[in-house]
Amino acid sequence: MQVKELGESLSRHGAKISRHQYRLFAAVAAALMVLIVVWTLHGSALDTFNLRPAHEASHGQAPPTTDVHDEADAHFQGTEEDNDEALKHGVGDDAHHDIPHIDHIPENVTVVPELIKIPKRIWQIGLPKSPLDTESHIDPKGLQDTPTWLALNPDYEYTIVGKAGGEELLDTHYADQPKVREIYHGLANVGMKSDLLRYLILETIGGTYTDTDTIALRPIDRWVPPQFEGKVGLIVGIEFDQRDNGPWADILHPLQFCQWTIAAAPGHPVFRRMIDRVLWSVQKMAVEHQSPVSLLMPSSTEVMNSTGPAAWTDVVFDQLKEFDPSLNSVRDLAYMTEPRLIGDVLVLTIDGFGMGQPHSASTNDGSIPEAALMRHLFRGSWRG
């Protein structure tokens, strides 16, 4: 509608405006029309600078940036299609991903890479002790510590995944990955199957996984220190720090990360690496034992080094080295007294996920240190 017609329309409907008001209104309307023409011809300011509003960004896609630190970031912050490919083929592949680039960032424009957030979800696993067990229920006694997680995190979605839930996850997210399905279904060792299932859950959906024999001590929303807010895609804790003491027979690293509790954003590349490690280790074990996967009877060390914390430590440390090439050994993380952010991985001190232990300088005097976020009770719930 033209300015004149708009004014006449207002007059016909009884609106009383002065000559001064009419001229002012006409000037504003004309300015708006000029702005619309300019917008149409030249595009929005956002398009001009090749930036997109946050609400239009694809899941997992970072706004353009002039600084791409490493290949892992490129995989993790690519387009949705790129992320899907990364999950299928692993971060170590040579697939190329184009990263949007700005040659010049206009003055007063801040470009901050968007990190996929850790979802407000809590996961626990309750698989049957035997693959032949057809019972779908979970013994309530095994969930006696779960209320601590619900009470401290009332706005989080809680899920306990049983046999049927694991099958549904595979059908939904791994229908096109037959090797993952084959190994998962073939594993008769419930501890190994539980290990693999937590990695699959965190890769596809994300959130906080914790064993059923753990107690929450702090709300998950307070796990990330204020200085690291918005920068964390994975939270890991230390379960063993040898320091200057001798090695333990059943601990394969001088410093080892636990996997009884892990918090992560979906699609974090560490999980594809870990899943690949599990597939490789289990198949290698089957060859060495000259046995099908379903009949494997692995030792405790084989479990730890294929699906458990020893393998997890190898994979996490490889990820950390990509972010910080100055790291030479897991010993470089010994004696930590403050949480450390390496890339997007928040590494907690021993008390973060490992308080109450008689080693590694873990607080074990009956008190709850400020750094403690949860506590593991070592009831062996991961064995089913």
* Domains: count for the chain: 2
Q: Are residues 281 and 146 in the same domain?
A: yes
Which residue segment(s) compose the domain that 10 sits in? Answer: 3-42
**Residue 69 domain flag:** no
Q: Are residues 126 and 257 in the same domain?
A: yes
Q: Are residues 27 and 127 in the same domain?
A: no
Is the pLDDT assigned to residue 9 strictly greater than 70?
no
CB 191, CB 383: distance < 8 Å = yes
What residue has token string 């996929």? 116
Q: Are residues 131 and 12 in the same domain?
A: no
3-state secondary structure of 210: strand
Interval 22-46: pLDDT, tens: 454 445 445 444 444 334 434 333 3
Q: Are residues 165 and 286 in the same domain?
A: yes
Q: Are residues 148 and 296 in the same domain?
A: yes
pTM for this model (two decimals): 0.71
Contacts 24+ apart (CB under 8 A), 241-244: 241/334, 241/335, 241/336, 241/350, 241/360, 241/361, 242/334, 242/360, 243/334, 243/335, 243/360, 243/361
Is the pLDDT assigned to residue 302 strictly greater than 50?
yes
- The pLDDT value given to residue 70: 36
Is the pLDDT assigned to residue 47 strictly greater than 80?
no
Maximum Cα–Cα distance for the chain, whole Å? 97
Q: Two tokens at 222? A: 């307070």
- Counting residues of the chain whose pLDDT is more than 90, the rounded percentage is 61
- The pLDDT value given to residue 26: 47
Is the pLDDT assigned to residue 263 strictly greater than 90?
yes
CB 169, CB 200: distance < 8 Å = yes
d(CA 168, CA 297): 26
**Residue 139 domain flag:** yes
d(CA 86, CA 93): 8
Is the pLDDT assigned to residue 330 strictly greater than 90?
yes
CA torsion sign for 161, 209, 116, 217 is positive
Q: Are residues 11 and 157 in the same domain?
A: no
Q: Are residues 314 and 206 in the same domain?
A: yes
CATH classification at residue 136: 3.90.550
